[in-house]
Structure 1
Amino acid sequence: MRNMFKSIFTPDVASEIFPKSPAVVGIILLYLATIFMPDSGKLNSREIIGITIVMMLQMALYWFYNSIFKNKYWIYFLIHGVITFDYAIICPQGYKTILLGLIPLFIIQSMVVYSNAISVIITACYFYSIFSVTITILSGVNELVHSMPLLIVITLAMRIFSIIFFNQVKLRIESQKIYQELALAYEKVEELTLINERQRVARDLHDTLSQGIAGTIMQLDAVNANLNKNNAKRAQEIVQRAMEHARKTLSDSRLVIDDLRATATNKRINFSENLKNEIVIFRGVSDTSVTSKVEVASSMAASTEKHILYIIREALNNIAKHSKAENAEIEVIENNNSININIIDDGVGFDVRLIDRMFGHYGILGMTERVKLINGKIKINSKKRKGTSINIIIPIEKGIDDDD
């Protein structure tokens, strides 16, 4: 109830946005109505000049009231009350029109500049008192009885208009703020989209061209080693595998290019078979002994399967290029609506704390980004000369068969 009472007398609008131009236009119309009313012939030149001077003074006070009076608005309304009373002295024939127009205007203005309802009520009583005393002195009590309801109706009408207007102003300001916030959000989204797209392109290039070329190089190194040992048959076998691997790399690169060109495809992959093929390729180019266990029965989103394949391919490449491991173990097991991936080797290991400082080694960074993209968790444990273990848990939803 208290808040409703306050909202009636003090609208939630700052005084800085209270428009002055419409009020000035209203004052000018009151001036013209007073000068050119039907009985204006009774106004002499002295009265017209006096009304003009007082009206100009009043408009000047109204236009600059914020800078002149600041927080002492009671002085401002007190002066306006005196000036309003002066109209009756200067122009006894036309003062009633001016009072009926100006008094509601100043009451509405008090609702804007004051933050408490009591000050508004006191200001309204002050102006109503001036109106009552002026009418009573110059025209009698009967005229006051007839004029007071009209003043009240005009005040209520102006208050209703001000409520509608203030709500429109408030909505406009809020809409401008929302527009600015949306513009900033759009710029941020655009920036983040560009960053994410660059990271995606970097991952795809690394997981296709970089990994493919690295695998081909390892196979050529194996060919060279066998040729030095005069083992031409073995070298020829590895060359055949290298050619197949190069063709697969070219095919994967084309898929990445198609994806960048936004070419839609519904082609699905056999996840388990492709995972086993990755392990077979690794065995053909590495001296590391690998044991594997793949137990995945549920279907997953194609994007999730692709990310898992790239993650395991990167882990195998790291083992082949950096770990110098004799043995490695790969497990990809479905358990409780999640895929548990464990990749363990007995290689030289590394300091996990230095991952971010290893310039040019983007494999682990790419793995971590891919795990996060599919809402998974990754944990890397490694110590020098004690091998490395990577544990990844990826949640899945059974039955999903779209490429999201």
Structure 2
Amino acid sequence: MLALRVPGLAFILMIYIASIVLQFVSGSWSILLLHVFTILIAIFTLLHWHSYRWVKNKVILYFVLQGLITYALANVMTGFLMLVIIGLYAFLIGQIIGMADRRRAFLIVYLLLLISANAIYQIHKGEFLHFLVIAVPIMVVIITYAATFFAQVDEKIKAQLTLERLELAHQQVEQLTLQNERQRMARDLHDTLAQGLVSLNMQLDAINVHISKGNTDRAKEIIQQSMNRVKSTLADARSAIDNLRSKSEEIGSLKERITLQMDHFKDATGLSCFLDYRLTQLPDVRTAENCYYIIGECLTNAAKHAEAESIWVSVWDEKENIHLTVRDNGKGFDVERGRKKRGHYGLLGIQERVRAMKGQFDIKSTKTIGTQIEIILSNQGEIEDE
């Protein structure tokens, strides 16, 4: 910003030096007038130093003050020597043309009236025509240069402000990206480790029940299933850590994955599970992944909290949307309280997944009747082979 101020400061300094030299050569100045002139020029310079801020916020006040200071400076000069101060008027008019976004005409007329007042009161009638002949070309040259210079300055200031806004926006995007990444990692960890551990805990409870009843064969079967479940959970955790999100890799048939998931769930909990799968399109990888994890979370919630006996899962498509419904016949719960309850992130994770895919989420729950979760996701898949 200093480089943008230097030409203006140099011009003001030139006016100051020329005025002092001419006044002392003509012998019409006292020490008092010198001090007054210096103070006025110093105030004019100080205002110019902060002009880039004033012109945008207090444009009228800035040019009114600068005009009055210039008027006072011209009154300190005498006769044709006022031509030097005409340069400051032209300087201000050029600044108005180059930088002011509003009230340009008003401000230019205001300065021209001040120039006229100075000329009328300080120039003799016989010298007035000569004054105009000299002053007008000088002003035209200075105004042209000043307007061009200040227009370039204004563009550079706007470019700098735009760059600062872009940097701020970039920082905000980085923060939002980091926040979304943390939320996504939390969902992935919940959907892999948390669900896997919950399932393993259910199987261990089942093993304990069978052992207490002396049903060792069934307990051994569940132990084998638990070992397989642990391996599967570890594989899912490694996949989440390595990729954090599946990209373009084949994840296998969604129907097969859901069926296998529900079989494991039935073996671990003894609950009845029913699948209605009617997709005519192969879902894209991201949609399939989210459907799989959402169903897993719904099954886990039904087993942990709903005390349900049966669970129904329906997956079908309609036009370009995938509809997913999970319903149980459990005890139900208060939906609003469930959303706000701390320490239970399953429902929040489902909502975040649906929101990230710009889908629709709806949950209905009635005490003693059960809970139903309905989700609609956009799908851009391929027609499934019959």
1:118 corresponds to which letter in structure 2?
V
1:338 to 314, 321, 346: 321
Change (3 A) 1:214 1:33: same
Partner residue in 2 for 1:64:
43
* Contact preservation (8 Å) 1:291, 1:329: yes
Partner residue in 2 for 1:42:
none
1:82 to 75, 86, 100: 75
Partner residue in 1 for 2:364:
381
SS at match of 2:29: helix
Distance in 1 (CA, whole Å) between partners of 2:25 and 2:90 is 30
2:15 corresponds to which letter in structure 1?
I
Partner residue in 2 for 1:133:
124
* Contact preservation (8 Å) 1:103, 1:127: no
Partner residue in 2 for 1:40:
none
User: How far did residue 78 of structure 1 move?
Assistant: 4.4
SS at match of 1:350: coil
Q: 1:154-190 deviations in whole A, cap 9, x for unaligned?
A: 2111111221222233233323433443343233223
SS at match of 2:124: helix
Scaled by the length of structure 1, what TM-score is found? 0.77
Distance in 2 (CA, whole Å) between partners of 1:201 and 1:75 is 65
1:209 aligns with 2:193: yes
Aligned residues: 356
User: How far did residue 55 of structure 1 move?
Assistant: 5.4
Distance in 1 (CA, whole Å) between partners of 2:180 and 2:298 is 23
User: How far did residue 130 of structure 1 move?
Assistant: 6.1
1:119 aligns with 2:72: no
Distance in 1 (CA, whole Å) between partners of 2:282 and 2:122 is 85
SS at match of 1:269: coil
Partner residue in 2 for 1:24:
12
Distance in 1 (CA, whole Å) between partners of 2:225 and 2:66 is 91
Distance in 2 (CA, whole Å) between partners of 1:192 and 1:108 is 47
Distance in 2 (CA, whole Å) between partners of 1:176 and 1:394 is 43
Distance in 2 (CA, whole Å) between partners of 1:220 and 1:383 is 31
User: How far did residue 326 of structure 1 move?
Assistant: 1.6
Change (3 A) 1:222 1:205: same
> Structure 1: where are the runs of 5+ without partners?
1-16, 36-44, 89-95
User: How far did residue 34 of structure 1 move?
Assistant: 4.5
User: How far did residue 265 of structure 1 move?
Assistant: 6.6
1:249 corresponds to which letter in structure 2?
T
SS at match of 1:50: coil
User: How far did residue 307 of structure 1 move?
Assistant: 1.1
1:329 aligns with 2:312: yes
Partner residue in 2 for 1:301:
284
Change (3 A) 1:46 1:319: closer
1:358 to 341, 344, 347: 341
Partner residue in 2 for 1:8:
none
Change (3 A) 1:342 1:192: same
Distance in 2 (CA, whole Å) between partners of 1:46 and 1:320 is 102
Partner residue in 2 for 1:221:
205
Partner residue in 1 for 2:234:
250
> Structure 2: where are the runs of 5+ without partners?
48-60, 97-102
Change (3 A) 1:272 1:50: same
User: How far did residue 374 of structure 1 move?
Assistant: 1.1
Partner residue in 2 for 1:396:
379
**What is the percentage of aligned positions where both structures have the same residue?**
28
Q: 1:68-110 deviations in whole A, cap 9, x for unaligned?
A: x98677754543333222xx4xxxxxxx5x4443213234436
1:371 aligns with 2:366: no
Distance in 1 (CA, whole Å) between partners of 2:230 and 2:138 is 89
Q: Which has the larger radius of gyration?
A: 1
Partner residue in 2 for 1:14:
none
Distance in 1 (CA, whole Å) between partners of 2:232 and 2:152 is 64
Partner residue in 2 for 1:170:
154
Partner residue in 2 for 1:11:
none
Change (3 A) 1:163 1:131: farther
Change (3 A) 1:326 1:75: closer
Distance in 2 (CA, whole Å) between partners of 1:32 and 1:57 is 12
Distance in 2 (CA, whole Å) between partners of 1:301 and 1:265 is 9
2:366 corresponds to which letter in structure 1?
K
* Contact preservation (8 Å) 1:346, 1:386: yes
1:83 corresponds to which letter in structure 2?
V
Distance in 2 (CA, whole Å) between partners of 1:120 and 1:283 is 89
* Contact preservation (8 Å) 1:337, 1:396: yes
2:350 corresponds to which letter in structure 1?
M
